[in-house]
Amino acid sequence: MSQELHVVFKGEIVQKWPIPFGNSTIGTGSDCSLVLANNDMQTIELEHIELRCTATQCEVQDLASLNGTQVNDDMLEAHHFWVLRPHDVIKIGGYKLIYEWVEVETAVSPPSPPEPTVAETAAPPEANPALPAEQQPLPPTDNDSSEPPESPPEPPNFMPPFSQHHSDDDIASRYLQYLPGIYHTPFVTRYLALLESVLAPIEWNIANFDLYLDPHTAPAHFLPWLANWFGMTFDDSWSEPQRRQFLSVAHCIQPRIGTAVALKEILAIYTQVTPTIDDTSDDLPEATFRVQLPLPDRTPLEDQIRQIIDAYKPAFTTYELVFTGDQAA
């Protein structure tokens, strides 16, 4: 007995793959043990699943693929092996991999002919023994022929099998696997591919929405929406790296609004210089603090800097803004 995977695509077995002992991978990568063509909207990973097989059993695990792997009707948990049984169906994208145990055919040597006996070797038969007249063959007639009569031709098959109903432009759709074979036609394939081209990006966004909530991976146009969570509004003077840097620490700044720590942190992000905040000098009036920035006196960022200070300072305080001119903005 040996173990095989029957690779089925569009209802047709395209390959019978003997499963080797040990660990092997299946995916679209060229280094995989079994390479699948990714004709299914990029739903198969470079390394999608891993098989671990011995002489007595075979196990499969999903390698944290984006669209997952099914065995029969069960979705595999990533990095957890599943013991396969004969006739189990592994579903990857538009492929079905059927696990089978097959008999190994062994060549049987033909029996040796028996040795001739003495009686058989003693007297060879006559070359052309004469037959009686009544047993002589009749001479051939004109109507006789040594060739067998021709059989009538088979009727033409006007309807090819459903598995042959595919388009010539390599258009495929994952949705086709949910329809019976009678609908596996070029028109239905193109129609479903049109719907999938609209719905697939929506499915991808839902499956990967956590990337939108991370300041390091969110699209640039999504950053103002994240800043709105913290009551922050970006203007054109904020560069994209500054916006991402602020959002990555905004959860730490937000609880400390009204403190020197929060004000110093956001000013450092916006101006890209280290500010100095003094609220203990004797020359300062009551409830007044001084902010010093190593920027030129006529910096174009002054209005925005004052807006930030007004938003993050204690409401009852006033301040002095001093530019020391040590560094250009």
111 belongs to a structural domain? no
User: Do residues 289 and 304 share a domain?
Assistant: yes
Per-residue model confidence (pLDDT) at position 146: 54
150 belongs to a structural domain? no
Among the candidates 174, 206, 238, a domain finishes at 206
Per-residue model confidence (pLDDT) at position 153: 60
Q: In 293-314, which positions are buried (b, 16+ CB within 10 angstroms) versus exposed (e)? A: bbbeeebeebebbeebbeebbe
User: Do residues 180 and 231 share a domain?
Assistant: no
Residue showing tokens 């929506």: 202
**Residue 172's pLDDT band (boundaries 50, 70, 90)?**
confident
> In this structure, which amino acid lies at residue 96?
K
Secondary structure (3-state) at 112: coil
Give the model confidence (pLDDT) of 30-54 as tens digits.
888 888 876 655 578 888 899 999 9
Per-residue model confidence (pLDDT) at position 307: 93
Per-residue model confidence (pLDDT) at position 158: 41
170 belongs to a structural domain? yes
42 belongs to a structural domain? yes
Q: Of all residues in the chain, what percent carry a pLDDT higher than 90? A: 39
Our count of domains for the chain comes to: 4
Burial, 175: exposed, middle or buried (Cβ in 10 Å; 0-12, 13-18, 19+)?
middle
Per-residue model confidence (pLDDT) at position 27: 87
Residue 130, pLDDT above cutoff 80: no
Average pLDDT value over all residues in the chain: 82
133 belongs to a structural domain? no
Per-residue model confidence (pLDDT) at position 166: 45
Distance CA 78, CA 235 (A): 43
Secondary structure (3-state) at 17: strand
Distance CA 181, CA 95 (A): 15
User: Do residues 225 and 286 share a domain?
Assistant: no
Q: Do the Cβ atoms of 321 and 305 come closer than 8 Å?
A: yes
Per-residue model confidence (pLDDT) at position 159: 42
Contacts of 319-323 with C-beta under 8 Å, sequence gap 24+, read 319/288, 319/289, 319/290, 319/291, 320/284, 320/288, 320/289, 320/290, 320/291, 321/291, 321/293, 322/290, 322/291, 322/292, 322/293, 323/292, 323/293, 323/294, 323/295, 323/296, 323/297, 323/299
Q: What tokens were used for 52? A: 């671990």
Q: What tokens were used for 20? A: 């080797």
User: Do residues 202 and 217 share a domain?
Assistant: no
Residue 329, pLDDT above cutoff 50: no
186 belongs to a structural domain? yes
Per-residue model confidence (pLDDT) at position 67: 81
Q: Of all residues in the chain, what percent carry a pLDDT higher than 70? A: 77
Give the model confidence (pLDDT) of 244-299 as tens digits.
999 999 999 999 999 999 999 999 999 999 999 999 998 899 999 999 999 998 88
- pTM (two decimals): 0.44
Residues with Cβ within 8 Å of 256's Cβ and at least 6 positions away in sequence, in order, are: 262
Q: What tokens were used for 308? A: 């930030």
Give the model confidence (pLDDT) of 72-118 as tens digits.
888 888 888 989 989 899 988 888 999 998 876 655 556 666 665 55
**Intra-chain end-to-end CA distance of the chain, in Å:** 76
Per-residue model confidence (pLDDT) at position 162: 41
Q: What value does the mean pLDDT take over residues 172-198?
A: 90
Residue 171, pLDDT above cutoff 70: yes
> In this structure, which amino acid lies at residue 127?
A
Per-residue model confidence (pLDDT) at position 222: 93
Per-residue model confidence (pLDDT) at position 124: 57
User: Do residues 215 and 288 share a domain?
Assistant: no
Residues with Cβ within 8 Å of 206's Cβ and at least 6 positions away in sequence, in order, are: none
**Residue 127's pLDDT band (boundaries 50, 70, 90)?**
low
Provide the CA 281 distance to its chain's centre, in angstroms: 62
Distances (CA, A) of 103 to 1, 7, 48: 5, 18, 28
**Residue 187's pLDDT band (boundaries 50, 70, 90)?**
very high
User: Do residues 181 and 226 share a domain?
Assistant: no
User: Do residues 241 and 186 share a domain?
Assistant: no
User: Do residues 80 and 26 share a domain?
Assistant: yes
261 belongs to a structural domain? yes
Range of the domain at 278: 257-329
168 belongs to a structural domain? yes
Q: Is the dihedral of CA 230, 234, 240, 241 positive or negative?
A: negative
